[in-house]
């Protein structure tokens, strides 16, 4: 690990100033410290934000929740309101890591996890995300866990978060304290960037921008599910995951909020898939049509070709689960 300066922030604006001039935020450190040990990331300065007042979970005026960026994954998953009204989020968090990691990992940090692509972690291999212009070793290499949607010729890495997939399906927003002093809220979907020809840029955050909270909208009617398919049951990253909130009224789909993990460089939501389901009676043929729309532009790269039919089966299984008994 290379030498670095350390700054303990006393307020959000102090943190923003310290990070804007070349610093990297650290809270739980469950991802960043590993990357520093491997010298994949070598920040000149760490800005410790663990003393900031961002650990509360508060109800909003419209029935939602404001979740501080430093709320641990354990506290969020076990919050009685989350378990009751947003169970898809609790299930996603509990599927994501061991108890020890959940105790340290934070809400903001979870959203900003770096990819687990083997070529990103191996400094002896080419990786445009780690070293722009060096190439993508995964294209012709071992890419079993990598993306089939939203990729480019420069990068096929996947986003690893389970929590972010559930929050995407729930329509969460992110509260950001900008380095210039203003605060902004934006949909979670707008936080992330697809790789294009700049895979090193993963979010819209500028240096010094600090995620201070995540806002969940009020709970909606319907059944919720998070299904994660992985190589082993013990806390592996998703090959394919689906977070879903589905409601059926009068024998027809009245709501379908869906997000997918393990398929793309960001938590993936396709409104065309949801629109195809609305107003239709649940059926195997309808679920196949939704999968056709989801996977129309999917592209495998050899070892990850299996993800395309797997995503079809997982989506159908989730929709069948959530509409069963409600179609009559």
Span 15-42, pLDDT tens digits: 999 999 889 999 999 999 999 999 999 9
For residue 328, the model assigns a pLDDT of: 47
Dihedral sign, Cα of residue 301, residue 150, residue 226, residue 287 = negative
Compute the distance between CA of residue 228 and CA of residue 264 in angstroms, rounded to an integer: 15
CATH class of residue range 223-323: alpha beta
Q: Which CATH architecture has domain 5-50?
A: 2-Layer Sandwich (3.30)
Q: Cβ distance 242 to 178 under 8 Å?
A: no
Alpha-helical segments (H) within 2-132: 12-20, 32-37, 73-78, 80-85, 87-94, 99-104, 107-111, 118-121
Count the Cβ atoms, other than its own, within 10 Å of residue 220: 14
Compute the distance between CA of residue 199 and CA of residue 133 in angstroms, rounded to an integer: 10
Q: Cβ distance 109 to 31 under 8 Å?
A: yes
Domain-wise residue ranges, the chain: 5-50, 223-323
Residues 6+ apart with CB under 8 A from 243: 88, 92, 165, 166, 168, 169, 170, 225, 226, 258, 259, 260, 261
In this prediction the pTM is 0.96
Across the chain, what does the average pLDDT equal?
Answer: 96
Span 72-105, pLDDT tens digits: 999 999 999 999 999 999 999 999 989 999 999 9
Span 268-319, pLDDT tens digits: 999 999 999 999 999 999 999 999 999 999 999 999 999 999 999 999 999 9
Beta bridge pairs of residue 245: 224, 257
Compute the distance between CA of residue 31 and CA of residue 41 in angstroms, rounded to an integer: 10
Between 95-99, 159-163, 177-181, 221-225, the lowest mean confidence (pLDDT) is in: 177-181
């Amino acid at each position: 690990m290379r030498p670095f300066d350390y700054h303990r922030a006393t307020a959000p604006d102090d943190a923003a100033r310290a990070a804007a001039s070349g610093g990297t935020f650290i809270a739980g450190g469950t991802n960043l410290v590993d990357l520093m040990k491997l010298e994949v990331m070598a920040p000149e300065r760490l800005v410790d934000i663990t003393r900031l007042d961002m650990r509360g979970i508060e109800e909003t005026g419209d029935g939602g929740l404001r979740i501080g960026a430093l709320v641990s994954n354990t506290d969020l998953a076990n919050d009685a309101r989350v378990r009751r009204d947003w169970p898809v989020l609790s299930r996603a968090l509990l599927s994501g890591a061991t108890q020890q990691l959940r105790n340290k990992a934070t809400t903001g940090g979870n959203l900003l996890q770096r990819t687990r692509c083997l070529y990103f972690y191996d400094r002896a291999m080419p990786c445009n995300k780690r070293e722009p212009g060096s190439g993508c070793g995964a294209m012709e290499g071992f890419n079993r866990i990598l993306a089939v949607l939203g990729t480019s010729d420069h990068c096929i890495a996947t986003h690893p978060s389970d929590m972010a997939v559930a929050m995407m399906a729930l329509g969460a927003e992110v509260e950001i304290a900008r380095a210039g002093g203003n605060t902004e809220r934006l949909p979670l979907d707008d936080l992330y960037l697809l790789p294009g020809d700049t895979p090193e840029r993963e979010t819209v955050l500028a240096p010094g921008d600090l995620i201070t909270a995540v806002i969940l909208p009020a709970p909606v009617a319907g059944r919720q599910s998070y299904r994660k398919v992985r190589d082993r049951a013990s806390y592996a990253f998703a090959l394919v995951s689906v977070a879903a909130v589905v409601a059926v009224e009068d024998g027809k789909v009245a709501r379908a909020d869906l997000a997918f993990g393990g398929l793309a460089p960001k938590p993936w939501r396709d409104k065309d898939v949801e629109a195809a389901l609305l107003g239709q009676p649940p059926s195997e043929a309808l679920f196949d049509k939704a999968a056709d729309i989801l996977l129309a532009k999917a592209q495998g790269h050899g070892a990850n070709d299996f993800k395309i039919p797997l995503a079809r089966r997982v989506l159908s299984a989730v929709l069948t689960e959530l509409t069963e008994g409600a179609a009559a």
